[in-house]
A and B are shown apart, each in its own frame.
Chain A
Amino acid sequence: MTTQSVPAPAALNREAPSLGGFNVTVLRLEIRRLLRNRRTVIFALIFPVVFFLAFGLNKAYASDRYGHGNVSAYVMIAMALYGAVLATTSGGAMVSIERAAGWSRQLRLTPLSPVAYIVIKMLTAMVLGLASIVAVFAVGGLTGKPSMPMYLWIVSAASVWIGSLVFAAFGLFMGYLLPTENVMQFLGLGLALLAFAGGLFIPLSQFPHILQDIAQWTPLYGLNELVHAPLLGVGVHWTWAVNAVAWLVIFAGGAVWRFRKDTARV
C-alpha cells in the first residue's frame, strides 16, 4: 500500500450527495409509479369513495344533525380515514415488493442511504393518503349531502391525514416482515377487520359490551375517535391519544427493528 499516502487526484475527488441521496425527482417518480399500480389505486382511491356513496348518502343522514354537522359528514370522515389508512399502508408495504424484486439490493449500488429510502417511502405513502382523503371529500362535496362548517372540512381532513402516519409505519413494518409480493392481499383483509373494530363502519355502541371493551385496544379506535372529535365538538379523551400514540410507537419500532435486520443482512 505504498500508494495510500499519495493524495487522491482530481478524478477521485468527488462528493457524496447530501441528505443521503433524497431528492424530489425520486419522490415524483415513486408517486407516478404508485398511481400506475391499478390495485393500489382501487384500494386507496376507489374503495373509500364507493363505501361513502354506499353508506353515507342515506336520506336521514343528511337531515340528522350530529355535532357541528350531520351524519353524512361523520360517515365521510370515517371513509376518508379508511381510505387514507389503506393508502398509507399500501405505500409503506411497497418495500416488500421492492425487496422481493431485488430493487433494494440494486439501490445499495447507489448513494441512497437506507434512512433516505425509508423517508421516501413514508412521504410517498402520505401523498397517496392525501389523495385518498381528497377523493372522498371531493365526492362528498359533489353529492351535497355532508354538511359542516368550512373550517371543519379542513380540520377533519388534516387530522385524518396526520393520523394516517400511524399506518404508513404499519405498512413499512409489514413490508419488512412479510416477504411477499402480494402483501396487500393480507393487509386489505386485516385493515377491514381493524376498521370494523375501530368503529369506522358501524358505531361501536352497537356492539356487545365485551366486544366494545376489546375494540378500544385496536389501532383504529383511537384514530377514529380523534378525527371525529372536531366535528362532534367533544374534548379529546386521553385514552384515544394514548391508543394512537402507542400504536404509532409499536409500528414504527417494529419497522425500525426489521429495517435494521434487513440492512445488516449480507
Chain B
Amino acid sequence: MADERGRRPAAGSQPAAVALRGVRKNFGSVQAVKDIDLDVSSGEIVAFLGPNGAGKTSTIDIILGLSQPTAGTADVFGMPPRHAITRGLVSAVLQTGGLLKDFTVRETAEYTASLFVRPRPVDEALNRAGITGIADRRVGKCSGGEQQRLRFAMALLPDPELLILDEPTTGMDVEGRRGFWGAIRQDTARGRTVLFATHYLEEADAYADRIILLRHGQIVADGTSSEVKAMAAGRTVRATLPDPDQARLSAIPGADSVEVRGDTVLIHSSDSDAVARYLLTSTPARDLEINTRGLEDAFIALTSDDSDTSAGGSR
C-alpha cells in the first residue's frame, strides 16, 4: 500500500510540497515519531489519520519547523520549513495556536496580514472563512468554532501553496464541522496542497484523496481513500487447514494478511471471493467462513495497540 505511483506530479514540475526523510522525534524516552519517510506532491489533499498519540501533531510540528526532529530532515517546497513560512508558502491551523481576546476578528487578521509580503486582502480571507459578519467582534466573545474559522482566515492570508490543518474540527458540532469543511473544500478547488490530521475516519474519507494511517509514530498504511478503505474494510476468510504454509497462503492474490492459529487460518482480504475460491480449489481447506468487519472496526484494528504493525502495509 505504500505505492505512490500515479500520484506523483509531472516529473520535475516543482519540488515536493513536503519531503520527510528518516524523521524521528523523541520526547525523553518516548518515541513520538519513528523514522518517517514521506513525500507529498503539489495539489494533493492528504489526511493523517490515526488515534490520539499516533504522532500526527508531532509530525506536523516538524513540517512547520515548530519543533526540530531528533533525527532526519524535513523540507517544504525544497527549503527548510521556517523559510517556507516566512515566504508565506505554508500556513496552518493548529490546535495549540492561541488568539488574543482583546483584538477584534478583523484586527487579528490585519495584524497577521501585515507580516506577509503580499497577503490576500483581509476582507477576502474573512469572507472565505465565512466570518465577515463578526469581523468587529472581540475574539474573546467568539465561540470556539468562530475562533477556528478565524484561524482558518489567518491561514489563508498568505495565499499558501500548502495548508496544514491539525484536527481542525475538534470541539465543533456536526453543523460547524460541515460548514468548516465546506469552506475548505471550496478553497482547495483552487489547487492548493492540503495536509490535515484527523481521528475521524469519515473526515479523511470525505475530504482527502490520499490517506496516511499513523500508529505509534509510524506510517502503517498509505494510499488513496478507496485503497485504504478497501484494505481496512475487507473481509476475513477463516478456514480449517491442516499444516498450513504461511508463505504460500500469503502469496494468494488479494490476501492482505495471513494469521495462522494451529490448524485454523485467518486471511484478511479485500477480495475474499478470490481467497475463498483458492482455498477451496487448491488446498484441502474446509469449514470455510467469511466475515465482514465494519469500516470503523477495521480502522481501530489497524491502529490499535495489539494489531501487528506489518499486517496492513506489507503487501
B98 touches A105 (CB 8 A): yes
Asked if B189 is at the interface (CB within 8 A of a chain A CB), the reply is: no
B115 touches A3 (CB 8 A): no
A26 touches B114 (CB 8 A): yes
Number of A-B contacts (CB under 8 A): 120
A29 touches B111 (CB 8 A): yes
Instruction: Output the least CB separation between A120 and chain B (Å).
Output: 10
Residues of A within 8 A of B271 (CB): none
B100 touches A101 (CB 8 A): yes
Asked if B97 is at the interface (CB within 8 A of a chain A CB), the reply is: yes
Q: Knowing A3-B78, A17-B117, say if A106 contacts B102 (CB, 8 Å).
A: no
Chain A, residues 101-117, CB within 8 Å of chain B (1/0): the string is 11101101111100000
What's the Cα separation between A106 and B83 when bound, in Å? 16
Instruction: Output the least CB separation between B306 and chain A (Å).
Output: 32
Instruction: Output the least CB separation between B14 and chain A (Å).
Output: 5
A8 touches B115 (CB 8 A): no
Residues of B within 8 A of A14 (CB): 87-89, 117-118
Q: Identify the stretch in A30-38, A125-133, A230-238 within 8 Å (CB) of chain B at 4 or more residues.
A: A30-38
Asked if A254 is at the interface (CB within 8 A of a chain B CB), the reply is: no
B100 touches A98 (CB 8 A): yes
Asked if A58 is at the interface (CB within 8 A of a chain B CB), the reply is: no
Select from chain A the residue with minimum beta-carbon distance to B84: A12
A103 touches B115 (CB 8 A): no
Taking residues whose C-beta sits less than 8 angstroms from the other chain, chain A's interface range is 20 to 34
Contact among A4, A25, A109, A112 for B94, CB-based, below 8 A:
A109
Residues of A within 8 A of B96 (CB): 102, 105
- Contact residues of B: prevailing secondary structure: loop
Contact among B83, B110, B154 for A25, CB-based, below 8 A:
B110
Q: Knowing A37-B102, A103-B99, A106-B99, say if A112 contacts B115 (CB, 8 Å).
A: yes
Asked if A23 is at the interface (CB within 8 A of a chain B CB), the reply is: yes
B100 touches A3 (CB 8 A): no
Chain B, residues 116-134, CB within 8 Å of chain A (1/0): the string is 1110000000000000000
Q: Knowing A109-B64, A266-B68, say if A11 contacts B103 (CB, 8 Å).
A: no
Select from chain B the residue with minimum beta-carbon distance to A32: B107
Asked if B101 is at the interface (CB within 8 A of a chain A CB), the reply is: yes
Asked if B15 is at the interface (CB within 8 A of a chain A CB), the reply is: yes
Select from chain B the residue with minimum beta-carbon distance to A110: B115
A6 touches B115 (CB 8 A): no
Residues of A within 8 A of B89 (CB): 12, 14
Asked if B1 is at the interface (CB within 8 A of a chain A CB), the reply is: no
Residues of A within 8 A of B11 (CB): 2-3
A3 touches B14 (CB 8 A): yes
A4 touches B78 (CB 8 A): yes
Q: Knowing A14-B87, A103-B98, say if A25 contacts B114 (CB, 8 Å).
A: yes
Asked if B77 is at the interface (CB within 8 A of a chain A CB), the reply is: yes
Residues of B within 8 A of A25 (CB): 110-111, 114
What's the Cα separation between A4 and B98 when bound, in Å? 35
Asked if A67 is at the interface (CB within 8 A of a chain B CB), the reply is: no
What's the Cα separation between A266 and B61 when bound, in Å? 9
Chain B, residues 43-72, CB within 8 Å of chain A (1/0): the string is 000000000000000000100111110000
B115 touches A11 (CB 8 A): no
B15 touches A4 (CB 8 A): yes
Residues of A within 8 A of B117 (CB): 14-17, 111
Select from chain A the residue with minimum beta-carbon distance to B67: A266
Select from chain A the residue with minimum beta-carbon distance to B87: A14
Q: Knowing A3-B15, A105-B97, A105-B98, say if A29 contacts B110 (CB, 8 Å).
A: yes
Asked if B86 is at the interface (CB within 8 A of a chain A CB), the reply is: yes
Residues of A within 8 A of B66 (CB): 105, 108, 266
Select from chain B the residue with minimum beta-carbon distance to A11: B161
What's the Cα separation between A11 and B191 when bound, in Å? 12
Asked if A1 is at the interface (CB within 8 A of a chain B CB), the reply is: yes
A102 touches B97 (CB 8 A): yes
List 8 extra interface pairs beyond A8-B78, A109-B92, A111-B116, CB under 8 A. Answer: A2-B12, A8-B15, A26-B115, A33-B103, A101-B98, A106-B94, A106-B98, A266-B66
Which 7 A-B pairs rank lowest in CB-CB distance, beginning with the nearest?
A102-B98, A106-B97, A25-B114, A266-B67, A16-B86, A111-B86, A101-B98
Name 15 A/B residue pairs within 8 A (Cβ), A-sorted.
A1-B16, A3-B12, A3-B14, A8-B77, A16-B86, A17-B86, A17-B115, A21-B86, A21-B115, A29-B110, A101-B98, A102-B97, A108-B64, A109-B64, A109-B91
Interfacial residues, chain A to chain B (CB-CB below 8 A): 1-4, 6, 8-9, 11-12, 14-17, 21, 23, 25-26, 29, 32-33, 36-37, 98, 101-103, 105-106, 108-112, 266
Interfacial residues, chain B to chain A (CB-CB below 8 A): 11-16, 19, 21, 61, 64-68, 77-78, 83, 85-89, 91-92, 94, 96-103, 107, 110-112, 114-118, 151, 154-155, 161
